[in-house]
Amino acid sequence: MTSQPTVRSGDKPWPVDDRRLCLAADIEQYSRFDTPGQRTAQAQLARVLRAAAERSGLDHGTWSVQPQGDMEFAVLPAGTSEQVVLGEYVTHLAAELGRYNATRRPARRMRLRLAIDTGVAATAALGFSGPAPIAVARYLNAPEVKRALEVTGSANLAVVISDRLYQDVVRSRFHGHDPEQYRRIHVEQKRFAGYGWVRLPGVNPQDAEEPWPDAPGGGPRPPARPAEAERPSFVQQGVHGTAVQGVIHGSVVHGVVPGGAGR
């Protein structure tokens, strides 16, 4: 994808200390589709993301969105519930994908990777700036996340969240969150390094067709011990709220917030 993405956001720039939820969704193996198939896939990506938001009580029209063909990056309004996004939104997105794929041949199925983090995000000339958009991009493209979806043919969605969100939201078990559905991975790409947590909605980690990659002993990792939870979510060098550009398969991803984004 070489076309410059358009960004739907407010007219006024956000302050550099504005903390937001950021997420990105990407279609698995998008290049396998022919031109009509790519057009269909893009339309369905837009549809399922909006439908999942509506079913979760979220107003997708208020999201600041940066579409990039086979991917959509979004910064959510201040005050958006992390519990709802990690819970109902993910559940409804997996259900929308399941309904769509149920009527498609295997070669025409659309499966997604979804990365979510929270932190500082600000608008910039060509998109977004801040550590969070960058972290989302690194999580989304982590080989461990791609592999988890690849080896689990029954899954329609692979979700990866930052360690910050896992510790603050999932481990609380509020809103029905189950830490045992997640497995910890370590992501190290470019100048970003940090822990993330992967979940395949509708797939029990113990019943996976193959062990998820990087799982010790062939099984899912247990929740982090308290000592581990006190460690920083990640080490990020050279990013101090300035606009950052990262080329991902020809697309440009701008920005990210402190916290925790292939093909």
Task: Give the list of residues 6+ apart from residue 67 with CB closer than 8 angstroms, or none.
Answer: 5, 6, 46, 73
Residue 125 confidence (pLDDT): 81
Q: 25 near 114, Cβ under 8 Å?
A: yes
CB 249 within 8 A of CB 1: yes
Q: 113: closest CA among 129, 127, 97, 99?
A: 97
Place of tokens 């029954």: 154
The residue behind tokens 């899912």 is 220
CA distance 115 to 138: 9
- 122-124 and 127-129 strand pairing: antiparallel
Q: Quick one: which of 118, 49, 29, 111 has its CA closest to 79?
A: 118
Instruction: Please give the pLDDT value at position 257.
Output: 40
- Element housing 164 (H / E): helix 163-165
Bridge partners (DSSP) of residue 32 are none
For β-strands 112-120 and 157-162, DSSP reports them as: parallel
Sign (positive or negative) of CA dihedral 160, 165, 166, 170: negative
pLDDT in tens, the chain (263 residues): 333 444 555 445 555 567 899 999 999 989 899 999 999 999 999 999 999 999 999 999 999 998 888 899 999 999 999 999 999 999 999 999 999 999 999 889 999 999 999 998 888 887 888 889 999 999 999 999 999 999 888 899 999 999 999 999 999 898 889 999 999 999 987 788 889 999 999 887 766 555 555 544 444 444 444 434 333 333 333 333 333 333 333 333 434 444 444 44
Task: Please tell me the CATH code under which domain 19-254 is placed.
Answer: 3.30.70.1230
Give the residue among 112, 118, 110, 125 at the shortest CA–CA distance from 85.
118
Contact status, residue 108 vs residue 30, Cβ threshold 8 Å: no
